[in-house]
Amino acid sequence: MTMDEQERQSDNGCGDDCVECPLCMEPLDLDDISFFPCTCGYQVCKFCWHRIRTDENGLCPACRQKYPDDPVGFKPVGTEEMQRYKSRKLGPKPGQKKRDPKEKIDRIVESRKHLTTIRVVQKNLVFVIGLPPKLTDAEVLRRPEYFGKFGRIIKVMVNTLNANGTPASSASAYITYLRSEDSLRAIKTLNNLHVDGRILKASLGTTKYCVNFLRNLACTKAECMYLHDLGDGAASFTKEEMQQNKHQEYEKQLLDSLNPIPPAVALELSGRLAAK
């Protein structure tokens, strides 16, 4: 495959003077120009390829095949092609209009449209419902004898109201742990725990993408709970997949990978919650 063919395949509407990665929207480096990690021919930069393989599900964003250990296509760039690449990077050709920066922003926004319906499971976020009224103080829930027992807590948000704004008979809470393994241990211990005649239900929380991120704008909310970066592909689900409980299957896989929680731990915590 020649560099011209690669450029046509990789060009995302930015014109002849640049080739950009379709994921991070950054211009491809010289080595990236001839880098094709998947058999389907979908091109991404090496940084995004490495991130997908090490931090995410390891699947090609286009065809959903698993990336092989070695890239499918990588051809060293020749001297002549390197010169053409450098000359193109120096600026627009004579008579060529300078690219409007707004065009790049529009492309980024367009590439993120599908994310409006995506929900991402947060592996360090516990959502618990069924808390009795006496356990609605965020500082109490942080204590080592309660949710703090499982690890360091970053944030606690308690809700005591129904959707219509009236007081609820039981409270719910979002508890953000520093480590995902701590949140999973909390869920495995607390889910279906009986407290004051109630049954606690604990699961991983989900979130959506911040509207500012979708619009390629800076978010001004200091404690915004929504996502401002691309989430883990394996933990991302459409509304239809959520209705099919795909996110619960994903959570079960994570919980099954944990070591068993000693029954004594659940009994001890149950006693503390009931005695509060």
- Per-residue pLDDT tens digits of the chain, which is 276 residues long: 333 434 334 333 444 445 778 887 777 777 777 788 888 788 888 888 888 887 777 888 877 788 887 776 655 555 565 555 555 544 555 555 555 667 777 888 888 888 999 999 999 999 999 998 888 999 999 999 899 999 999 999 999 988 788 888 889 999 999 999 999 999 999 999 888 888 999 999 999 999 999 998 899 888 888 999 888 888 999 989 999 999 999 999 999 998 777 666 666 766 666 665
User: What is the spatial distance between Cα 25 and Cα 36, in angstroms, rounded to a whole number?
Assistant: 16
Q: Where does the chain have alpha helices with state H?
A: 3-10, 46-55, 79-89, 101-111, 138-142, 180-190, 211-214, 239-243, 246-256, 263-275
